[in-house]
Amino acid sequence: MKRFLLPLLLLLLTACSPQSLSGQVTEVITGPDGTLTALVIETDAHEERGLLITGETMLFSHLDGVSQELLLAYELPELIVSAECERLNKTLVDGREMPACTVPWVSIDQAHLEDTLLADGTPVELWLTPFSTSYRLPNGPELLSVRRSSGPENVLVGGAEGYADLPEAAQQRVSAYYQEQGLLYDTQAELERAYRAYVDAGCPEDFDSHMLEQSIYPTASSQEVMYFLTSVTLPLDGNTATELRLGAAFDRKTGEALEPQELFTCSPEALITALLNCSEVTEPTLRREMTTAFRPEYLVFFPEHLEVSFPQGVLPSQEHAYILSIPYEDLPLSPWAIPEAAA
């Protein structure tokens, strides 16, 4: 008898385990007083399911700008939701019999916002997800995923001081700087590139979508300066990407953006030569290319070293991005600008 106890127990636990349901909303059902009473969804398996809503059901959204009210009003053409269901039973939902269950919560996970057109007139659907905007061909694969941009206000790095450590007036100036900087990529151009890659690959159903992402976060700080990095992920194809890395320095008290050349004791004209002399780059052609391509925003300050980041494409002899890492003790850096080691 004991031999059957464990399998029987597992069977009972499996039968009682909550089941996750998700699918596209096909119908929103309300009561006489306008309150939500049920949702009808179509699952990925093209099966109809009913989600019965009670006064205790929690309804929430993971999407910016997509609220409970929009669901109740059903103002969006397509919504994808998820819910937890303990047991599906055949029951009547708005006069139709279907598997349904009362749910403790419903989450709005995706919303079809609108459509856009490619240069050749091909329509593309825009779907909002919790962390990105997804560009999809109708009844086809995703071409491009644009991750939600972040920072500097809402990004923390362990052991590093950040935006919240600045005075309020300084925070406002830093925010204004990055608002003016804006996005450093062209979404429409990247969407066109992704579509061309899709067509060139033979329009596969399992196309590896391209991804765009931009984030801003603190990298280091001294007693007088706080340093940030803008990181931009740019797709090369569905499997590979390159990263654009741009640094910025701000006065801790005022939030004023500092020109990177101001942080060094040498002249601006001599800066790139000083950086290369402190690096391990000796090859004449590469040094010449770096001298020509150098821009002050390629400097990224970390607690223990300075990074000089040359993006892919700016050095003719290099196939990929090229990064120099230089210890501070080798650099002509003003003492007040040298970052403190992270805690």
pTM for this model (two decimals) = 0.82
Higher per-residue confidence, 46 vs 113: 46
Q: Give the confidence band of 14 by pLDDT, cuts at 50, 70, 90.
A: very low
Q: Give the confidence band of 3 by pLDDT, cuts at 50, 70, 90.
A: very low
Residues 6+ apart with CB under 8 A from 186: none
For 72-85, how does the pLDDT look when each residue is reduced to its tens digit (9 = 90+)?
665 556 889 999 98
Q: In this structure, are residues 334 and 221 in contact, taking their beta carbons and an 8 Å threshold? A: no
Percent of the chain with pLDDT strictly greater than 90: 69
Higher per-residue confidence, 2 vs 92: 92
Q: Give the confidence band of 67 by pLDDT, cuts at 50, 70, 90.
A: low
CA-based nearest residue to 247, from 172, 339, 170:
339
CA-based nearest residue to 201, from 238, 236, 234:
238
d(CA 249, CA 308): 14
Residue 15 clears pLDDT 80, i.e. is over it: no
Cis peptide before 99 (omega within 30 of 0): no
